[in-house]
Amino acid sequence: MTSLAWLLMGPLIACTDGDTDTDEPPDITDGTHTETCGGVAPIADELWISNGGLRNFEGDEAPTVSLELHLTDEDGDLHQGTMEIWFDETLDDDVDTSGDPDAERIYSGIGDACFTDAATLNLAIRVGTVFDYNTPYEFAALFVDAEGLASNVLVNSGVTPKEDGSDGDPVE
């Protein structure tokens, strides 16, 4: 090989450290949320159902039911994703999640890419359209993280608010 070829290859050889471990996620290089965080699915820890209060919907104030989902994710990719919700009126700790979700919300910018390892997400849904007033419902929720990995499904029940926005009657 000519000395020019060795001279040109020298910096290439000098810059490689021989480490070819591909199991590690790459370094974070920017904030565009395109980084790979590690491939670990999030864990849904708790699902709370409560009166979400009165909210303005295009000039019309209406009561809402609030679903709060608490999540953890050891690889930190809760910075964006989608909360998916299913519901039914049968209080049996079982909600059919085999079809498309009844409601969903996309979250982004929750925190820094690959450094958001816990989050509590809220979804307020208008009562009086899809949900009847003062009615018990059972909800199932999960979260699909930035890598497309779905959490476990949590199920909880709650009563929708009354038409005036006050709490619904408790289930006996």
pTM (two decimals): 0.76
Give the sign of the dihedral formed by CA 122, CA 118, CA 143, CA 169.
Answer: negative
What pLDDT is recorded for position 36? 67
What pLDDT is recorded for position 172? 78
**Segments of the chain with pLDDT less than 50:** 1-34
- The residue with tokens 């990719």 is 77
Beta strand pairing status for 118-126 and 103-108?
Answer: unpaired
156 Cβ partners below 8 Å, 6+ apart? 47, 48, 49, 138, 139
Contact assessment for residue 49 and residue 154, using Cβ atoms and an 8 Å cutoff:
no
Domains present along the chain, CATH in parentheses: 43-159 (2.60.40)
Q: What is the pLDDT of residues 58-77, one digit of tens each?
A: 999 999 999 999 999 998 88
Q: What is the pLDDT of residues 119-139, one digit of tens each?
A: 999 999 999 998 999 999 999
